[in-house]
Amino acid sequence: MNAAGRTILKRLALAGPTLLGITVLTFAVAHWAPGDPLGLSEDAASSSGLEAARRASGIDRPWPEQYLTWLVHFARADLGRSLVDQRPVAEKIGEALPRTLLLSGLALAAAWLLAVPLGAWLARWPTSRRARAVSASLALASGLPTFWVAMLALFVFANPRRLDWFPFQGLRSEGGGLVDLAWHLVLPVLVLTSPTLALAARHVEAAMRQALSHESVLAARARGIPERSVVWRHAFRNSLVPLVTLLGLQLPHLVGGSVVVERVFGIPGMGLLAFEAVGTRDYPVVMAVATVMGAVTLLAMVLADVGAVAADPRLRHPEGR
Amino acid sequence: MKGLVRPLVADRRARAPLAVLAGIVLLALFADVLASDLPLLVRVDGATHVLPCLVRPAALGAESSQSLAARAEWMVRTPIPYGPNQTLAATGEQQELPPPWGPGGAHWLGTDELGRDVLARLVHGARVSLFIAALTVLVAALVGLLIGGVAGLFGGPVDLVLSRLTEVMATFPTIFFLVALLAVLRTPSLWPVALVLGLTRWTDVARLVRAEVQKLKTLDFVLAARAMGAGPAHVLLRHLLPNALGPVIVTATFGVGSAVLLESALSFLGLGVSPPTASWGELLSQAQRTLLVPGAWWLAVFPGAAIGVTVLAVNGVGEALQRTFDARS
């Protein structure tokens, strides 16, 4: 096994304790907030009934015991039931996750598909007037609050009194098919794409600018290699490592979702699920969401390392440089 | 610090963002004399009041520029003669339709549905938003410097534990922290919101400082200091951290922009400072209620634009700082 493989194995091994730490922290923070899901609900008839309900759900036990119980159940792949509506937590996540995956996946893919050519073009022609205009609009896209852009998008494009082009809320109309789904996705995906696109394009530009200034690019041009080939086969290939790292940092958004965008567009995905669960002290849901998000984030970090080694063969032999 | 300011001012591309940022900071600092329900100077009932908008003399009690206008011998109003929380009932204005009123006339940027002046709320909101952003970044930078510095200097098991802690915090969803905090505090004010935001955002600084310190601690001047008997605290505070400060300042500057955005998103979710305190995010979350039905676009457009301009200006300054440090190394 080479050095890079060992580094990645070490990261995987360390991911375990980190994930455990995330669950402990989530548990502590969730229980730190006063009140519990049963006490918060208005229809808790009598205090004796409330006590009985607390005992039945186990939330009257000491915290360490509750945490260990959760951990044992989790190890058996049992996420428990929601304390608010008694549905299995796995089922709730199973509903929310596909929505968020669809929304964030499309946005992430769109952002990177646009960012790579755009960033390369900006790096190649940095001083042209058009490039400056594009840079300025990218800066603007990353400086505006996402939920504000979402609100204005609804106001302009989903408003019977302005342009009534797109549906107002949700992901589907009654009895709608794929076209209907796509129609509902247009505005939220566009809103989610713009900040990611701005960030990715800026990183592509910086990485490409550095790669293009390398002497090997000058040499390639001197040999008469076509510019297109110089940019994509020589320079772009050398700019991949920081981009893979950035992509790794963005992958967790695929399952985390965006609370504000989901809220403005009325799409009950992972972001809203987490937000509502912690608001109602629905501990099993909070724990499950944090664990899923934490696991995906850690996995993305390892994937980014693997990707970096794949993109830059020198990383396979760090000592032998 | 002096070595930092001069190249920044000399950098042409930094001038516009610096000027805009300075303007916004001045607006925030002087919010009380720019937009107030009381005038700057007034002579009423035989007494002259200087800066009643700041002093709030008991003699004027529940008066306002509007109610004083009829009886005062003379007065100098604030440029925006409305307080941030002065509703229709306090101004006593009458128009054909109930508020929200659009921009124009006495209210340059319009009013909300309670008749509060949008411009006055924007100016006072700048203070809240900038204060939270600045404090957030300060807390984040201090915690990050400490944890990253200690992890980088000592290495070994200390580094292993602190790096895991950093990873946990970076992975932990901020929103959980804030919802729990809101439940604990019930009516959160500026300080706790900023502190908690800062405590969730130190991880970038910590990683950066750790890497810098690891690089710096092998250099000769550090070895020399240690050979002369300097303890770890002295080496860290006097030699390592000051030299690692450059990239931290750049990161912290960009952090101010993202903290302004974060504050607005939190207020939008109802987790920010409690109303009626005006912050830019609170203005936007309020705008959401009136955007579609009466179509009060001015309640959403102006605060959002204020956030956008601020973030752009801060990021412009951050880029200029980055150029300065890049040119130096």
Residue A321's pLDDT band (cuts 50, 70, 90): very low
Q: Which 3 state secondary structure label does DSSP give A11? A: helix
A64-74 pLDDT, tens digit each? 888 888 888 88
Judged by a CB distance cut-off of 8 A, whether residue B171 touches chain A is yes
Q: What is the pLDDT of residues A110-130, one digit of tens each?
A: 999 999 999 999 998 888 888
Rg (CA), chain A: 24
Residues of A in contact with B254 (CB under 8 A): none
- Give CA angle at A197 (A194, A198), nearest 5°: 85
Of the pLDDT bands very low, low, confident and very high (cuts 50, 70, 90), residue B243 is confident
Minimum CA–CA partner of A136 in chain B: B312
Over range B72-84, report the average pLDDT: 82
CA separation for the pair B267, B261 (Å, rounded) = 10
The more confidently predicted of residues B185 and B270 is: B270
- Of B170, B284, B292, Cβ closest to residue A148: B284
- Checking if the pLDDT of B256 tops 50, the result is yes
Q: Average pLDDT over chain B, rounded to whole? A: 85
CA-CA-CA-CA torsion sign (B10, B325, B153, B134): positive
Confidence of residue A257 (pLDDT cuts 50, 70, 90): confident
Task: Tell me which of B24, B166, B172, B319 to substitute to probe the interface with A (most A C-beta atoms closer than 10 Å).
Answer: B172
By CA distance, what is B160's nearest residue in A?
A14
The pLDDT of residue A178 is 83
For B180, which of A14, A252, A278 is closest by C-beta distance?
A: A278
Query: Treating both helix axes as pointing N-terminal to C-terminal, what angle do A89-124 and A178-212 enclose, rounded to 10 degrees?
Result: 40
Which B residues 114-133 touch A at CB under 8 Å? none
Residue for token pair 């993305």: A300
Total count of residues recorded for chain B: 329
CB atoms within 10 A of CB B121: 31
Greater confidence (A193 vs B94) lies with A193
Residue of A nearest to B282 (CA): A148
Question: Which candidate, B104, B109, B132, B135, places its Cα nearest to that of B121?
Answer: B109
With tokens 């032998």, the residue in question is: A320
In chain B, what residues touch A147 (CB-CB under 8 Å)? 264-265, 268, 284
Q: Which residue in the set A18, A139, A152 is minimally distant from B315, CB to CB?
A: A139
Contact A67, A48 (CB under 8 A): no
Contacts of B265 in chain A (CB under 8 A): 145-147, 259-260
Helices (H), A213-266: 215-222, 227-229, 237-238, 240-250, 253-256, 259-265
CA trace torsion B270, B273, B275, B279 (10° rounding) = -100
Residues 6+ apart with CB under 8 A from B319: B13
> In degrees to the nearest 10, what's the CA dihedral of A193, B279, B313, B318?
-80
Write out chain A residues lying below 8 Å of B300, CB-based: 148, 151-152, 155
**A142-186 pLDDT, tens per residue?**
888 888 999 888 888 887 777 878 787 777 777 777 888 888 888
The residue among A24, A29, A135, A148 with the most chain B CBs within 10 A of its CB, best to mutate, is A148
Substitution target in A147, A258, A262 with the highest count of B β-carbons within 10 Å is A147
Q: Is the pLDDT of residue B135 over 90?
A: yes
By the 8 A CB rule, do B182 and B188 touch?
yes
Chain B contact for A153 (CB, 8 A cutoff): no
The residue among A213, A214, A236, A221 whose CA lies nearest residue A118 is A236
Long-range residue pairs from A121-129, CB within 8 A, at least 24 positions apart, any chain: A122/A201, A122/A204, A122/A205, A122/A208, A123/A204, A123/A205, A123/A206, A123/A208, A123/A209, A123/A212, A124/A208, A124/A212, A124/A231, A126/A205, A126/A209
Q: Does B326 touch chain A (CB under 8 A)?
A: no
User: In the 8-state DSSP scheme, what is residue B49?
Assistant: E
Q: What is the pLDDT of residue A108?
A: 94
pLDDT category of residue A47 using cuts at 50, 70 and 90: low
Contact by Cβ (8 Å): A208, A119? yes
DSSP lists the bridge partners of residue B50 as B41
| Non-local CB neighbours of B239 within 8 Å, separated by 6+ positions | B216, B221, B222, B225, B230
In this prediction, residues A285-300 reach a mean pLDDT of 88
**SS3 state at A234:** helix
pLDDT of A113 reads: 96
Partner A contacted by B172 (CB < 8 A): yes
Helix axes A89-124, A129-143, angle to 10 degrees: 160
**Block residue for tokens 């909101």:** B125
Percent of chain A at pLDDT > 70 equals 94
Average pLDDT over residues A87-107: 91
Nearest to A172 by CA among A42, A303, A254, A267: A267
CB burial string A135-163: b at 16+ within 10 A, e below: beebbebbbbbbbbbbbbbbbebbbeeee
Q: Are the beta carbons of A44 and A38 closer than 8 angstroms? A: yes
B269/chain A closest Cα distance in angstroms: 7
Distance CA B329, CA B324 (A): 9
In the predicted model, is pLDDT for residue B250 greater than 60? yes
| Cβ–Cβ < 8 Å for A262, A268 | yes
Closest CA–CA distance from residue A224 to any residue of chain B (Å): 33
What is the distance of C-alpha B184 from the center of its chain? 23
- What is the tens place of the pLDDT at every residue in B149-207? 999 999 889 999 998 889 888 877 777 777 777 677 766 778 888 888 898 889 989 99
Q: How many residues does chain A have?
A: 321
CA B146 to CA B121: how far, in whole Å? 37
Q: Which residues pair with B107 in a beta bridge?
A: B104
B-proximal residues of A, 62-81, CB under 8 Å = none
Does pLDDT of A78 surpass 60? Answer: yes
Average pLDDT, chain A: 85
pLDDT above 90 covers a percentage of chain B that reads 26
pLDDT at A211 over 80: yes
Contact across the interface for B180 and A33, Cβ inside 8 Å: yes
Strand, coil or helix: B47: strand
| For residues A48-69, average pLDDT | 77
- Mean pLDDT for B232-245 is 89
- What pLDDT, on the 0 to 100 scale, is given for residue A45? 52
CA distance B149 to chain A (A): 20
For residues A217 and A196, is the Cβ–Cβ distance under 8 A? no
Q: How far is CA B293 from the centre of its chain?
A: 31
- pTM of the model as a whole: 0.87
Contact by Cβ (8 Å): A213, A234 = no
Specify whether the CB–CB gap between A258 and A231 falls below 8 A: no
Closest residue in chain A to residue B257, using alpha carbons only: A143
Q: Which A-chain residues 165-194 have CB contacts (< 8 A) with chain B?
A: none
Residue A140 has pLDDT above 90, yes or no: no
B173 touches chain A (CB under 8 A): yes
Instruction: Kindly report the nearest CA distance between residue B256 and chain A, in angstroms.
Output: 11
Tell me which chain B residue has its CA closest to the CA of residue A279: B179
How far is A210 from chain B, CA to nearest CA, in Å?
A: 13
Q: How confident is the model at residue A319 (pLDDT cuts 50, 70, 90)?
A: low
Query: Do A140 and A195 meet the contact criterion of CB atoms below 8 Å apart?
Result: no
Q: Which two tokens mark A206?
A: 């910086």
Q: Report in angstroms the alpha-carbon separations of B73 from A220, B67, B68, B76, B165.
A: 82, 13, 9, 11, 65
CA distances from B63 to A212, B71, B86 (A): 67, 11, 11
Q: Give me the mean pLDDT over the A84-88 stretch.
A: 85
pLDDT band at B2 (very low <50, low <70, confident <90, very high): low
Predicted complex ipTM? 0.83
Residue contact B265–A22, C-beta within 8 A:
no
- How distant is the Cα of A226 from the closest Cα of chain B, in angstroms? 32
For residue B101, pLDDT beyond 70: yes
What's the rounded mean pLDDT across residues A271-284? 87
CA distance A75 to chain B (A): 20
Question: What string of DSSP letters covers B224-288?
Answer: HHHHTT--HHHIIIIIIHHHHHHHHHHHHHHHHHHHHHHHHHHHHTT-SSPTTS--HHHHHHHHH
Q: Is the pLDDT score of A46 beyond 70?
A: no
Q: What is the pLDDT of residue A259?
A: 86
Which single residue is written with the structure tokens 């109930």? B98
Question: For the purposes of burial, counting CB atoms within 10 Å of the CB of A95, is it exposed (0-12), middle (13-18) or buried (19 or more)?
Answer: middle
